Amino acid sequence: MRTLILGGVRSGKSRQAVEIAGTHPVTLIVTGAARDEEMAARIEAHRRSRPPEWRVIEEPIRLAAALRRSAAPTEVVIVDCLTLWLSNLLCAGDAQALARESADLLETLPRFAGDCVLVSNDVGCGIVPVNALARRFADEAGTLHQRLAAVCDRVIWMVAGLPVTIKPGVS
């Protein structure tokens, strides 16, 4: 089962991913990097909140490759989060990175062995951003989410800590 969890900041997306994983063995692929003190504090809070037996892979760019290395039929792989991954790609200094890595992810997911839960911030519900990079980020996130929703079995939108199932999937 491939699940996409969307929602705003602090909407309960990561908690929902943990609930979906249940008692299965988990590999967590994290995409964030501690580039400042505030982000370091966020990452540390996430570290403290997750079970110590989880295997953690830090991968800011080559997400599909990390997924292929992590696939196991009896495990759940959680990716947290796609919008940080998207930011990393947009700022990578490689004009082709976003197209290349997104295509690789979209090719990898349908053949993924095991359960995969993708966490991402829904950024399209607010005002139109003021600068070109922020507008591109919102556009790219929206396009990525649509393409992922098409290949995922289940899509959940988190609102105020409550899961709203958009695409139910079959377990």
Active site residues: 46
Find where tokens 């008692």 sit. 23
- What distance in Å separates the CA atoms of residue 6 and residue 25, rounded to the nearest whole number? 23
User: Which amino acid type is present at position 31?
Assistant: T
| Residue 39, phi then psi, degrees to nearest 5 | -70, -35
Alpha-carbon separation of residue 33 from 41, 50, 80, 105 (angstroms): 11, 17, 12, 20
DSSP string over 114-131: SEEEEEEE--TTSPPPSS
